[in-house]
Amino acid sequence: MSRAGRFGLLGAAMSVALAGCARIAPQTSLEPQGPIARQIDSLIDPVFVVAGVVFVLVQGLVVVAMFKFRDRGQAEPEQIHGSTKLEIAWTLVPALILLAIAVPTIKTIFDMARPAEAADVLKVKVIGHQFWWEYQYEESGVKSANELVFPAGRPVELTLESVDVIHSYWIPALNGKTDVIPGRVNRMTVIADEPAEFQGQCTEFCGTSHANMRNTARALSEDDFAEWLSNQQEDANTPAPDTGAAKGLEVFNGRGCAGCHAIAGVAEGNIGPNLTKFATRGTFAGSIFENNRSNLKAWLSDPQKAKPGNQMIIPGAPLSNEEIDQLIAYLETLN
Q: Is 128 a residue whose pLDDT tops 90? A: yes
78 belongs to a structural domain:
no
Rounded distance, CA 127 to CA 191, Å?
19
Quickly state the pLDDT bin for 69 (edges 50, 70, 90): confident
The pLDDT score that the predictor gives to residue 102 is 92
The pLDDT score that the predictor gives to residue 262 is 93
Whether residues 214 and 276 share a domain: the answer is: no
Whether residues 185 and 142 share a domain: the answer is: yes
Whether residues 248 and 105 share a domain: the answer is: no
User: Residue 86 is which amino acid?
Assistant: L
Out of 72-76, 145-149, 194-198, 205-209, least confident range: 72-76
Length of the chain equals 335
Rounded distance, CA 175 to CA 35, Å?
9
Out of 55-64, 163-172, 229-238, 314-323, least confident range: 314-323
Local structure of 72: helix, strand or coil: coil
Local structure of 79: helix, strand or coil: coil
181 belongs to a structural domain:
yes
The pLDDT score that the predictor gives to residue 19 is 66
226 belongs to a structural domain:
yes
Q: What mean pLDDT is reported for the chain?
A: 90
The total domain count for the chain is 2
Question: Please, are residues 290 and 282 in contact by the beta-carbon 8 Å criterion?
Answer: yes
Q: What is the mean pLDDT of residues 182-189?
A: 95
Q: Rounded to 10 degrees, what is the CA torsion of 84, 88, 90, 92? A: 180
Rounded to 5°, the CA angle 210-196-147 comes to: 35
Whether residues 49 and 184 share a domain: the answer is: yes
User: Domain holding 104: CATH number?
Assistant: 2.60.40.420
Quickly state the pLDDT bin for 228 (edges 50, 70, 90): very high
Quickly state the pLDDT bin for 23 (edges 50, 70, 90): low
Rounded distance, CA 219 to CA 141, Å?
19
CA 94, chain centre distance (Å): 35
Whether residues 119 and 263 share a domain: the answer is: no
The pLDDT score that the predictor gives to residue 253 is 92
Rounded to 5°, the CA angle 269-307-296 comes to: 65
Whether residues 42 and 173 share a domain: the answer is: yes
Q: Could you tell me what percent of the chain has a pLDDT over 70? A: 96
Final residue of a structural domain among 231, 253, 268: 231
Q: What is the mean pLDDT of residues 309-317?
A: 86
The 8-class DSSP code of residue 7 comes to H
Rounded distance, CA 300 to CA 72, Å?
73
Say what angle helices 35-68 and 84-113 make with each other, to 10 degrees: 160
User: Shortest CA distance to 332 belongs to which of 286, 284, 288, 287?
Assistant: 284
Residue 53 domain boundaries: 26-58+86-231
Quickly state the pLDDT bin for 20 (edges 50, 70, 90): low
Q: Between β-strands 142-145 and 196-201, what pairing exists: parallel, antiparallel or unpaired?
A: unpaired
Beta strand ranges found along 274-314 (DSSP E): 283-284, 289-290
